[in-house]
Structure 1
C-alpha cells in the first residue's frame, strides 16, 4: 500500500482526539512530502541534524517533534525549529534547554520521558526521580512541560498494557496538581504494533513510522 493509503487506514482506526505523529526518521524528503499531501502535519525525528535539514526543506506549517535522545550539545540547533521535545530525561538536560532557549528568549515545550520499564539501555527518568525533575522544572522560565512520553521495553510486549496503565496513572496524578510550568496535555505512548492498546489505556499521541512508511530502513530502528 502507498503512504497515502496507510494514513487513510490509520485515520479510520485512530480517534479524533488522538494525534497521529508520523515517525519520519531515516525517511527521504519525498516520503515526507507524500505524507504531508495526505494530511500529516506532525513529524517525529530521532536525530537533531536530520530534523533541522528536513525543517529547512519542507513546508513551514509542519510541527517537528524530537522523539530521540537529546544530547546537551545539540540543544542549540533546535531553537525556532522544534515544536515539541519528547525526550526530557534528566535535570542536566533540563538546565541546558533552559539556558539555550533562555538566551533567545524562546519557550521550549517538552515532554518528560519516563523510563517505565527501568531499562539500563534506555534514557528517561525513573519514577522515583520524577519529583526531583519536576522541582527543577518549576524553577525554569523558558521550559514548559506538556506531558509524558514512554517507550515500552522491547521483548516484553505481553506486558504493554501494564506499562501503559502505570504511565497513565502518573499522568492523571500530575494532571490534578497545580504547577507553574507543567500541564498534563500530551500522553505520548504507543507505536505501530501497539497503538491500539495504548489508545485504549489513555494515550492521546501515537508515534507511527513503519505503519505509515513501510519497512524500508527497518534495521535503523523504525518505530
Structure 2
C-alpha cells in the first residue's frame, strides 16, 4: 500500500471516530479531496482508492484535471469564483461552494439557463468576520439568500465556511457551531430552491472538530497529499 492510500485510510478513520464521538453516522460525512497544485498522478491514485469527490480552487487547474482524471468522480469548485470564469466550469462541476455575491449569482443563473437546469451552490459565509476571507457576513446571510431565491437557475444546497487558521483546532469550534445554527435558521424559513443539505466546513487542520459540529463535507488536502510546494 502506498503512502497516499495510507493517508486516506487515516483520514477516513479520523472522520469515523469524530462522527462516533458526536453520535453521528460516519456515512453522513463526505470526504472531498482538495487537488490544488496536486499532480494528476496523485489525484488518480486516491480516485482509484475510492475517493469520488474532488475540489479545485482554481478554474484553470480544474479544466486541465477534469480532462485527465479517469473514473466516476464529481468535481466541486471550492475557491473564489470570478463572474467571468463561470462560463468555463458551469457544466463541469456538481457543486459550487463559493457563492458570495449577487453578481456571481447572476452569472451562474445565466449559464444555468444554457444548461437547462438549476446549478447547485453553497453560500460561503465569513463566520469569523476576517477581512482576509471571502464570504457573506453572517449578519447579511438571510437577506442575501432571500435575494438569491429570485434566480430560478440556482439551488442553494447549504453553507460553506473557512475557519481561522489556528494552532489549536478546538478554537475553531465556535465558528463551526455558528454555521450549523445559521443553517438551521435558514432551513426554518422554508424558502423556495433553498435546502440546507450540506455544511462544507473543516480542512486538514480542523476537520475532526467540524465533523463533531455537523459538517457533511470536509475539504482535505495536505492530510491526503502532503504539504504543497
2:179 counterpart (163, 167, 176): 167
Q: How does 1:88-103 map to 2 (within 5 A)?
A: 88-103=99-114
In 2: Cα distance, 1:17 partner to 1:52 partner: 29
Which residue does the alignment assign to 2:52? 41
Question: Number of aligned pairs?
Answer: 217
Instruction: Name the SS for the 1:31 alignment partner.
Output: helix
TM-score (norm 2): 0.90
Deviation at 1:101, TM superposition (A): 2.1
Distance 2:142 2:183 in 1: 13
Unaligned runs of at least 5 residues, structure 1: 218-223
Return the alpha-carbon distance in structure 1 between the equivalents of residues 48 and 5 of structure 2.
Answer: 8
Q: Tell me, yes or no, if the aligned pair for 1:188 and 1:205 is still in contact at 8 Å.
A: yes
Say whether the 8 Å CA contact 2:126–2:138 is kept in structure 1.
yes
Paired residue for 1:193? 205
Q: TM-score, normalised by structure 1?
A: 0.92
Shift of 1:119: 1.3
Q: Pairwise CA RMSD of aligned residues?
A: 1.5
Structure 2: which 5+ residue stretches go unaligned? 16-25
Tell me if the contact between 2:47 and 2:71 (Cα under 8 Å) persists in the aligned partners: no
The corresponding residue for 1:220 is: none
Query: Counterparts of 1:1-223 in structure 2 under 5 Å?
Result: 2-14=3-15, 15-59=26-70, 61-155=72-166, 157=168, 159-217=171-229
Secondary structure at 1:117 match in 2: coil
Residues in 1 aligned to 2:197 and 2:174: alpha-carbon distance in whole angstroms: 21
Question: Displacement of 1:125 after TM fit?
Answer: 0.3
Q: Does the 8 Å CA contact 2:100/2:125 hold for their aligned counterparts?
A: yes
- SS of the equivalent of 1:193 reads coil
Aligned equivalents of 1:177, 1:51: Cα separation in 2: 35
